[in-house]
Amino acid sequence: MARTTIRLPDELIARAKRKAAAQGCSLTALIEDGLRRVVNETSGVRGAPRVLPPVSSARGGLMPGIDLDDSAALQDLDDLRDAPSGHGL
């Protein structure tokens, strides 16, 4: 087994020591486990862009009677939606 020296922030070492104690293992074992996990990751997984689900599954375009060029009518629709229950769309 090789012996090496690494430099880590004091706060990180303190947290790692608490974690190792809570798990009932040594600091060396905790670091070894974490390093194995990182090294065994398949390449390209780390830093890969997240694929988000579609925002909406709605189909068919605008509701009948909606005109995107008529901002006053759109504001009226928005006001109706925010009205007390029983009066909205």
Task: Pick the more confident residue, 18 or 74.
Answer: 18
Mean pLDDT of 61-66: 76
Which among 56, 55, 38 has a CA at the least distance from the CA of 47?
Answer: 38
Residue 85 is predicted with a pLDDT of 61
Question: Is-contact 73 67, C-beta < 8 A?
Answer: yes
Residue 40 is predicted with a pLDDT of 87
**Residue 49 token pair:** 């862009």
Mean pLDDT of 63-89: 72
**pLDDT tens for each residue of 34-47:** 999 988 877 655 56
Report domain extents, the chain. Answer: 10-40
Kindly report which listed range (8-12, 18-22, 23-27, 53-57) carries the lowest average pLDDT score.
53-57
